[in-house]
Amino acid sequence: MKSPLVYLTATKLKNQLIAVVKSPAKLIYAVILVALFALTAFSGSAYDLEELRNPQELTAIMVLFYTMMFLMVFASGSSSSNSPMFTLSDVTLLFPAPMSSNKILVYGLVRQLGLSLVLGFFILFQYSWMHGAYGIGPAGLVLIIVGYAITLFFAQLASMASYVRTSGMERAGKTVRYCVFGAAALYGVWAVLFCREDLLALSNGGSYGPLLEKGAAFFATIPGILFPVSGWAAGLVSGIFAGNWLLVGLSVGLLAALFALLLGLILTCKNNYYEDVLSTAETAQSAITAQKEGQLNEVVPKNVKVGKTGLGKGWGASAIYYKHRVENRRSGVFLFSNMSLIFMAVIIGCSFFMRDAGLVGIFAFATYMQLFSVALGRFNRELIKPYIYLIPEPPLKKLLYAIKESLLSDTWEAILLFVVVGVIVGASPLEIVCCMVARVSFALLFTAGNVCVERVFGMVQSKTLIFLFYFLVLLLMAIPGIAACVVCSILLPVWGAAAGLLGMAVINAAIAVLVLWLCRNLLQYAELNSR
């Protein structure tokens, strides 16, 4: 007899595949993703270098990336207030069912692992540069994804063990999380001490080359590979690459021992976590319902420090901007959101390994990441609230104030990001300033593209199709600026990249202003957007 949980999981997967096939929007989206991956895979030769980079760098990248993902997933899963393991329907139907609670826990683990693996889909699109820089083939790419999956699996398993063992004991749960993050911090301090001589040489005017080699050697050898979970997974992958079967066996042995330990902690737990799960599921369901109704801030799964009440400033349309500032203050955001900080950290980290590409190459990568950060902005969330349409102000004025806070945040992000990246790659002050200006112009362009999609396709209900339109519109809007960059670089060779960046910024700003003016009546009537 097939297990009910196995049947439930299989049925959900089948229904998701059927939904993709039957939904034209989802099918088109899936086809485009497959086509993009195929294009990326077949264009690997375009990134070939004359000489392959040190393979230790790739191992170091894997250790750092796996560590970051492990910490993010563990922090999310070990706290019931962050990411609920079960939905309200699971709690209502599965927990009262005549089956072992351990089986239900395993079901929750498998489902969360599947959702987490989706986050690693972007690894497929990194094949080109990994192939060109390190000689990684399709089999190597699969191994890297396997290492990523192993890391996520153990992160979910560790978070589940922490969750069931500390359920109902908030202080104990925080202590466990502090210990995990404290261990990662001590590991970082060890890495700094290991590279202290090269850091001192760098501060005295030395180059980055020795520091990068020393750092890569730290993470790619015993200190890094012996770091729990992420180091073991990276050691497994790199050991197969190098044919070091002793390292492979050691990594497998350590992972197997940890698996047995965590599984034992989960299966032998007698703690009753049903009420904790029920409360979390109810809060999450209320938040989902509020989001569908346009009341995004009505239900918050965690306590919020209100502090000073009222906006304090603003009149008419400007109240929208000050409302955004109050929301930032109450959510603990000073200038940058957590997502922006993650994107900035990724770009700065990658800049150490992309110094050969120069500032312009890193700028292109940062712009690619920026596209996703703008897509996750708050402007879209304002459109489903009725009050913004009731403010007796011109629609264009309301629109500009609705995007003002995000544009200011993008400006500060551009300044901080490219000052740091410029210092890392040794760029001139002129190039750094031009990158800042171009970065802000792309923020304005992407925001305008977002507004355009909402104005033209606001009645479309499919979020998948809306996301597809968003990327297509931004691509079309970015082409003139890219063309201007090439033309200016050719016509003004003395200025080089600076001329290209400034030319691109001017064209981007002009297109963005034109699009915003054409979409100025977006906030005139709520009927223009049904979401």
Give the predicted TM-score (pTM) of the model: 0.66
pLDDT of residue 299: 44
pLDDT bracket for residue 505 (50, 70, 90)? very high
Sign for the pseudo-dihedral over CA of 181, 182, 187, 191:
positive
Cα distance between residue 396 and residue 317, in whole Å: 10
| Same structural domain, 35 and 72 | no
pLDDT for 11 beyond 80: yes
| Same structural domain, 383 and 435 | yes
pLDDT of residue 296: 44
Which range of residues forms the domain containing residue 36? 13-42
Selection from 410, 112, 115, 170 nearest residue 302 by Cα: 170
pLDDT tens for 443-485 read 999 888 888 887 777 665 556 667 777 778 888 898 999 898 8
Collect all residues with Cβ–Cβ distance below 8 Å to 99 and sequence separation of at least 6.
4, 5
Answer with the residue of higher pLDDT: 252 or 530: 252
Cα distance between residue 415 and residue 50, in whole Å: 34
Sign for the pseudo-dihedral over CA of 456, 460, 465, 467:
positive
Residue matched to tokens 């603990």: 332
259 token code pair = 């698996």
pLDDT bracket for residue 511 (50, 70, 90)? very high
pLDDT for 75 beyond 90: no
| Same structural domain, 261 and 379 | no
| Same structural domain, 383 and 503 | yes
Answer with the residue of higher pLDDT: 323 or 300: 323
Question: Nearest-5° angle of CA 238, CA 240, CA 242?
Answer: 70
pLDDT for 294 beyond 50: no
Q: How far is CA 114 from CA 9, 87, 118, 119, in A?
A: 11, 15, 7, 9
pLDDT for 29 beyond 70: no
What crossing angle do the helices spanning 138-166 and 245-267 adopt, rounded to 10°? 30
Is 287 within a domain? no
Is 488 within a domain? yes
pLDDT of residue 428: 85
Collect all residues with Cβ–Cβ distance below 8 Å to 242 and sequence separation of at least 6.
55
pLDDT bracket for residue 441 (50, 70, 90)? very high
pLDDT tens for 135-165 read 788 788 888 888 888 888 888 888 878 877 7
| Same structural domain, 73 and 99 | yes
> For the ranges 78-82, 90-94, 203-207, which has the lowest average pLDDT?
78-82
pLDDT for 81 beyond 60: no
Is 188 within a domain? yes
Is 494 within a domain? yes
| Same structural domain, 60 and 177 | yes
| Same structural domain, 19 and 118 | no
DSSP string across 10-45 = HHHHHHHHHHHHH-HHHHHHHHHHHHHHHHHHHTGG
Length of the chain equals 531
Domain end call among 249, 276, 303 = 276
φ/ψ of 150, rounded to 5, equals -60, -45
pLDDT of residue 83: 47
DSSP 385: -
Cα distance between residue 485 and residue 499, in whole Å: 7
| Same structural domain, 341 and 417 | yes
Collect all residues with Cβ–Cβ distance below 8 Å to 329 and sequence separation of at least 6.
307, 308
Torsion-angle region of 205 (φ positive above 0: left; ψ -120 to 50: alpha; else: beta): left
Answer with the residue of higher pLDDT: 410 or 378: 410
Q: How many domains are there within the chain?
A: 3
Instruction: Output 480-483 pairs: Cβ under 8 A, ≥24 positions apart.
Output: 480/507, 480/511, 481/441, 481/445, 481/505, 481/507, 481/508, 481/511
Question: If you average pLDDT over residues 177-194, what whole number do you get?
Answer: 86
Average per-residue pLDDT for the chain: 76
Is 19 within a domain? yes
Is 469 within a domain? yes
Domain end call among 276, 310, 333 = 276
H-run or E-run covering 130: helix 127-134
Cα distance between residue 263 and residue 344, in whole Å: 36
- Identify the top-confidence range among 38-47, 242-251, 463-472, 493-502: 242-251
Question: If you average pLDDT over residues 61-74, what whole number do you get?
Answer: 84
Q: How far is CA 328 from CA 333, 370, 376, in A?
A: 5, 20, 15
pLDDT for 100 beyond 60: yes
Domain end call among 247, 276, 305 = 276
pLDDT of residue 49: 53
| Same structural domain, 364 and 460 | yes
| Same structural domain, 216 and 254 | yes
In this prediction, what percent of the chain has a pLDDT beyond 90? 6
Contact indicator for 84, 280 with CB cutoff of 8 Å: yes
| Same structural domain, 342 and 468 | yes
Answer with the residue of higher pLDDT: 384 or 527: 384
Selection from 521, 484, 524, 523 nearest residue 501 by Cα: 484
Q: What share of the chain is helix, strand, coil (3-state, %, to 5)?
A: 80, 0, 20
Helices (H), ranges, 167-204? 170-194, 196-203
DSSP 529: -
Collect all residues with Cβ–Cβ distance below 8 Å to 27 and sequence separation of at least 6.
20, 21
pLDDT for 277 beyond 80: no
pLDDT bracket for residue 1 (50, 70, 90)? very low
Residue at 260: amino acid letter: A
pLDDT bracket for residue 202 (50, 70, 90)? low
Collect all residues with Cβ–Cβ distance below 8 Å to 509 and sequence separation of at least 6.
441, 444, 445
pLDDT of residue 439: 92
Cα distance between residue 69 and residue 229, in whole Å: 11
| Same structural domain, 118 and 205 | yes
Cα distance between residue 126 and residue 108, in whole Å: 30
Is 310 within a domain? no
> For the ranges 232-246, 343-357, 411-425, which has the lowest average pLDDT?
343-357
Question: If you average pLDDT over residues 91-95, what whole number do you get?
Answer: 73
pLDDT bracket for residue 331 (50, 70, 90)? low
171 token code pair = 């202080």
pLDDT of residue 475: 83
H-run or E-run covering 352: helix 338-353
Cα distance between residue 388 and residue 23, in whole Å: 33
Residue at 171: amino acid letter: R
pLDDT of residue 435: 92
List b or e across 404-425, with b for residues whose CB sees 16 or more CB atoms inside 10 angstroms. Answer: bbbebbbbebbeebbeebbebb
Is 472 within a domain? yes
pLDDT tens for 342-398 read 778 878 877 776 777 778 888 888 887 777 666 555 666 677 677 777 788 888 888
Three state DSSP letters for 222-249: HHHHCCCCHHHHHHHHHHHHHCCHHHHH
pLDDT of residue 506: 93
Collect all residues with Cβ–Cβ distance below 8 Å to 11 and sequence separation of at least 6.
none
Question: How many other CB atoms sit within 10 Å of the CB of residue 521?
Answer: 13
pLDDT of residue 378: 64
DSSP 53: P
